[in-house]
Amino acid sequence: MSHENERPARRLTSAFVAAGLTMGLAGGFAALTAGSSNAAAAPGCTAVYSVSSDWGSGFGATVTITNNGPAWSSWTLTYSYAGNQTVQSGWNGKWAQSGKNVTVTNESWNGSVASGGTVAPAGNFGYSGTNTAPTSFAVNGITCNSTGPTTPTSTPSTSPTSTPSTPTSTPSTSPTTVPTTPTTTPSSGGGGHVVNPFIGASQYLSPDYTNEVNAQAAADQGSNPTLAASEAKMAGFQTAVWMDHIGAIAGDSIHHGLQWHLDQALAQQKAGTPILFEVVIYDLPGRDCAAIASNGEIPATSAGLTQYESQYIDPIAAILGDPKYAGIRIAAVIEPDSLPNAVTNQGKPACATATPFYESGVEYALNKLHAISNVYNYVDIAHSAWLGWSSNMGPAAQEYAKVARATTAGFASVDGFISDTANYTPTTEPFLPNTTLQVGGNPLDSAKFYQYNPYFDEYTYDQAMYTQLTGQGFSPNIGMLIDTSRNGWGGPNRPTALNSTPTTPDSYVAANKVDQRPFRGDWCNQAGAGIGERPTVQPYGAGNHIIAFVWIKPPGESDGDYVTPTHPHGDPHCDPAGTNTDGNGGTYPTGSLSTGDVPAGQWFGAEFQQEVTNAYPKL
């Protein structure tokens, strides 16, 4: 299961991305609802004020405004501070301040906000004394009726730091408090859909994965009991079940089949509590057209599409639709790396050929699975290092909308989207909150590692994609998921404080990024990677678009193998002695582990040991 982000050379420009993007502050607003938070509702607008990090003399904040009425062609946000807070810098809008009064007007690219759409102007501020949150907001002269600061049901923890060099931005790994009766919305599949299926549900623990983990922990107990104890903890976290070939439906020599897992989920389910089951739909015709490690079994032909529908999707839908599983909430991750290739890799003949089958296949999968009322469809949107450029993000949202519109239920067939599936991009970059920070006269995103991609992490990317997707017509209720299974990047090489001394973007980024890959496009069995945030419901609070952290890629299972004298199959991207290119003439190491050559989806013990050792937060 490779997760490729091949991309063509692109114009090097510092232009911001279009359509209402949320640029990060203090680690990409890792704690969007941390600190002071004021949620105010009115017929015309909703405003949520959030402080992400406060270091005593300054802070980062965002105001997320939602249009509850007719579409806006432009917007002006106004509010006032009670203290001496002053705007230092701002983005996603033109910021001005007169005394205590703050005014933010739209940029040329984010003035249009559809009904139900959001935009999130953000800034850095200075202050002394007390940092009291504002309590009243207005958009286009309409007051978003303020009721004063409120505290979300549960928020990630952030500890104020004594200096701005060490902002705290890592959310708590504890799941949020959940309501006993989730809100439901109608579903055309019959029965009810909850808005967020992760709320109030227990997590299915795959016995296949538990056995893999326990076997590794037992093997390491004699030589490294401390590591073994940490490894054993991994058996207590939910991972997804991958349907990555037709044979996986019935089960193969490595993993059990879909019906077996669902029966196990029934056995694990506690009375009165729904259980959540995660399954990956991953076998499109011409799958992984830009990679080799996970090339699919079905050809990109009309006959292949028929095979995909009749031999793959139909049997899966028949099992999931069995009435005895109606009480299980099934989160389906739809075809990683498919539609992103339709956006960025049309220069590759294999991708150009596969694209119409990707579109038709995803449409068919959405139709069949949406018809089952307890199934929730989450479509893969790659990650920030692939679709973060403006030349990719807007067209990607249009591509997803195109496929959704073609389904029987239209946009309702999609419950949400997932990023970073089986990839390594950090959830936040805590010491690189301002991607356009000037270093040596150049913006930070001009560093070779980012190449003018304004999204350094998944948090800011997902917020921006949410705006793009809802702008294309998707419901404001769509939920965003982040696969945090291997993006923690802990260990000795993780920076622990801001190093502000480097004088060039490249050196500044190298000194402060937690992502330790030599090239951001590296994706196969990465050396130095670690377990990320634990599976968590509403990690940023109930008002945030990110509804859960999930472990879709089971940590310890390989991304792919490479060609050796003993076997001809393999992907050069997985070869530790190989190189990757950035599309602009740059060549970099693959960053792959040199301790094994393991086919995709099979257990890779050395990788698991590393990921557990480098877990952040620590296990």
| Mean pLDDT, range 27-35, rounded to an integer | 30
Are 310 and 385 contained in the same domain? yes
CA distance 430 to 496: 9
From 144, 160, 182, the end of a domain falls on: 144
Residue 277 — pLDDT band, cuts 50, 70, 90? very high
Question: Do the domain assignments include residue 243?
Answer: yes
pLDDT at 195: 93
From 144, 176, 202, the end of a domain falls on: 144
The least confident of 270-274, 470-474, 491-495, 582-586 is: 582-586
**Contacts by residues 570-575 (CB-CB < 8 Å, ≥ 24 positions apart):** 570/292, 570/293, 570/597, 571/2, 571/291, 571/292, 571/293, 571/524, 572/292, 573/2, 573/4, 573/291, 573/292, 573/293, 573/522, 573/523, 573/524, 574/2, 574/293, 574/524, 574/525
| Mean pLDDT, range 575-583, rounded to an integer | 92
CA distance 610 to 557: 12
Are 91 and 208 contained in the same domain? no
Instruction: List, in sequence order, every residue forming a beta bridge with 89; answer none if it has no partner.
Output: 124
| Mean pLDDT, range 190-199, rounded to an integer | 77
pLDDT at 294: 61
pLDDT at 320: 97
Question: Do the domain assignments include residue 200?
Answer: yes
| Mean pLDDT, range 494-516, rounded to an integer | 97
Are 139 and 206 contained in the same domain? no
CA distance 435 to 457: 10
- The string of DSSP codes covering 200-251 is T-EE---HHHHHHHHHHHHHHHTT-HHHHHHHHHGGGS--PEEE-STHHHHB
CA distance 409 to 104: 38
CA distance 572 to 187: 44
| Residue in 244, 559, 575, 597 annotated catalytic | 559
User: Which amino acid, residue 209?
Assistant: Y
CA 94 to chain centre: 28
Question: Do the domain assignments include residue 169?
Answer: no
| Mean pLDDT, range 460-474, rounded to an integer | 97
Residue 288 — pLDDT band, cuts 50, 70, 90? confident
Are 371 and 245 contained in the same domain? yes
| Predicted confidence (pLDDT) at residue 103 exceeds the cutoff of 80 | yes
Yes or no: say if 118 and 46 are a contact pair by the CB < 8 Å rule. Answer: no
CA distance 100 to 85: 8
229: exposed, middle or buried (Cβ count in 10 Å: 0-12, 13-18, 19+): middle
Are 265 and 332 contained in the same domain? yes
Closest by CA position to 314, among listed 367, 275, 373: 367
Are 228 and 140 contained in the same domain? no
Mean pLDDT of the chain: 85
CA distance 419 to 428: 13
From 144, 169, 184, the end of a domain falls on: 144
| Residue in 220, 337, 420, 582 annotated catalytic | 337
Pure H helices in 100-224? 207-221
Q: Residue 313: which CATH number?
A: 3.20.20.40
| Predicted confidence (pLDDT) at residue 383 exceeds the cutoff of 70 | yes
Residue 322 — pLDDT band, cuts 50, 70, 90? very high
CA distance 265 to 279: 12
| Predicted confidence (pLDDT) at residue 206 exceeds the cutoff of 70 | yes
| 522 belongs to the catalytic site | no
Residue 412 — pLDDT band, cuts 50, 70, 90? very high
Rounded to the nearest 10°, the torsion over CA 406, 409, 415, 420 is: -20
CA distance 539 to 517: 26
Domain that holds residue 137: 34-144
Yes or no: say if 227 and 609 are a contact pair by the CB < 8 Å rule. Answer: yes
Question: Do the domain assignments include residue 108?
Answer: yes
| Predicted confidence (pLDDT) at residue 423 exceeds the cutoff of 70 | yes
pLDDT at 293: 61
Give the containing element (helix H, strand E) for 332: strand 328-334
Residues 214-254 pLDDT 10s: 999 999 999 999 999 999 999 999 999 999 999 999 999 88
Residue 15 — pLDDT band, cuts 50, 70, 90? very low
Residue 81 in tokens: 């501070």
Residue 159 — pLDDT band, cuts 50, 70, 90? very low
Residue 367 in tokens: 């139709």
Residue 88 — pLDDT band, cuts 50, 70, 90? confident
CA distance 153 to 159: 18
pLDDT at 54: 72
Are 217 and 135 contained in the same domain? no
Residue 446 in tokens: 């001009």
CA distance 258 to 397: 31
Are 123 and 60 contained in the same domain? yes
Are 96 and 197 contained in the same domain? no
Helix (H, G, I), strand (E, B) or coil at 384: helix
| Predicted confidence (pLDDT) at residue 149 exceeds the cutoff of 70 | no
Residue 481 in tokens: 């998921």
Are 139 and 197 contained in the same domain? no
Question: Do the domain assignments include residue 421?
Answer: yes
| Mean pLDDT, range 522-550, rounded to an integer | 97
- The string of DSSP codes covering 238-259 is --PEEE-STHHHHB-SSSB-HH
Closest by CA position to 563, among listed 551, 577, 549, 552: 577
Q: Residue 58: which CATH number?
A: 2.60.40.290
pLDDT at 531: 98
- How many structural domains compose the chain? 2
- The string of DSSP codes covering 26-83 is HHHHTTTTSS-EEEEE-SSEEEEEEEEEE-SSEEEEEEEEEE-SSPBSS-EEEEE-SS
| 571 belongs to the catalytic site | no
CA distance 312 to 143: 52
pLDDT at 187: 33
Question: Do the domain assignments include residue 89?
Answer: yes
Question: Do the domain assignments include residue 277?
Answer: yes
Instruction: List, in sequence order, every residue forming a beta bridge with 468; answer none if it has no partner.
Output: none
CA distance 463 to 117: 12
Question: Do the domain assignments include residue 181?
Answer: no
Closest by CA position to 208, among listed 148, 167, 265: 265
Are 73 and 219 contained in the same domain? no
Closest by CA position to 58, among listed 96, 84, 28: 84
Rounded to two decimals, the pTM is 0.73
| Mean pLDDT, range 347-373, rounded to an integer | 97
Residue 145 — pLDDT band, cuts 50, 70, 90? low
Pure H helices in 96-148? none
Yes or no: say if 451 and 584 are a contact pair by the CB < 8 Å rule. Answer: yes
| Mean pLDDT, range 279-306, rounded to an integer | 90
The least confident of 29-33, 235-239, 275-279, 452-456 is: 29-33
CA distance 231 to 45: 48
Q: How many CA atoms lie within 13 A of 409 on its CB side?
A: 23
Are 248 and 118 contained in the same domain? no
| Residue that wins the pLDDT comparison between 505 and 117 | 505
